[in-house]
Amino acid sequence: MSLVNIDHELCNRDGKCMAVCPSALFQKDSEGYPEFRQPDRENCIGCGHCVAVCETNALRHESLPVGNYPPIGSLPLPSAPEVVNLLKCRRSVREFRNTELPDALLEETIDAARWAPSAVNQQPSHWLVIRDREELRRLAGLMVDGLRKARHLGPVYSTFVERWDRGEDPILRNAPCLVVVHASDQWAWSPVDCVIALSQFELAARAKGLGCCWSGFLMKMAREFPPVKEALRLPEGHGVHGALMVGWPRYAYHRFPPRAEARITWR
């Protein structure tokens, strides 16, 4: 059985499935109908373009049941000004309310992030959600230990150590939740794919009223200080490619964050 089958009674032969296939796996048959090149099925990346572009539902993909992909028109898309406003008002939040986040809310946000694009549709991202306060405190402490042993990184880090010793948490900011995205180090595009997915998570979180801040400390220490990565208990061969502190913002902001003008070169 072919990976992709086309119902000739429904197909209008507009060639759209042929045009959008990134791997060029379709050709015309003798009657002008699109035909999937079965010998090349291993080159299919499962992006679903062919299924989504077919207006007459003539195309069936063995690995992509059409019932799993509801029509885009079932919900209205936000207007361009609404999207731009969401992008512009996003800022790093480092002060959180002492309120736990519902599991369902985090699951919904991760579900939105899983639709992010990835190289050849590999979707390598794995998600680690840490909400246990003691574990978060211990993880922050391990990162401080790493900073104590890494004075060569510069005097600026001594300030964070001093604040920790005073009882503050300048590392994970007492956030009620830490979301870590990780993936196999064997996949060359894991760092980029994970950052794209986590960026999409952050925007979805902002739309739900949550505040986020990227944890550069965790990303750095997971690479350079083995006890931190060990504490995360990731699968063998996985690396940390992004981390966000997440919670309900303690304060509301009333102005957009400052940003430099775009530096554009036109060719």
Query: What is the pTM for the complete model shown?
Result: 0.90
Q: What is the pLDDT along the chain (267 residues), one digit of tens a residue?
A: 689 999 999 999 999 999 999 999 999 999 999 999 999 999 999 999 999 999 999 999 998 888 877 788 777 889 999 999 999 999 999 999 999 999 999 999 999 999 999 999 999 999 999 999 999 999 999 999 999 887 666 667 788 999 999 999 999 999 999 999 999 999 999 999 999 999 999 999 999 999 999 999 999 999 999 999 999 999 999 999 999 999 999 999 999 999 999 999 999
Contacts 24+ apart (CB under 8 A), 90-95: 90/202, 90/203, 90/206, 90/257, 91/253, 91/257, 92/212, 92/213, 92/214, 93/211, 93/212, 93/213, 93/245, 93/247, 93/249, 94/173, 94/213, 94/245, 95/173, 95/249, 95/250, 95/251
The CATH number corresponding to 80-247 among 3.40.50.1980, 3.40.30.10, 3.40.109.10, 1.10.287.3510 equals 3.40.109.10
For the chain, give every domain's residue range: 4-72, 80-247
C-alpha to C-alpha distance for 62 and 1, rounded to whole angstroms:
9
Give CA angle at 221 (217, 225), nearest 5°: 155
Report domain 4-72's class.
alpha beta
Helix (H, G, I), strand (E, B) or coil at 244: strand
Asked whether 173 and 96 are in contact (CB, 8 A), the reply is yes
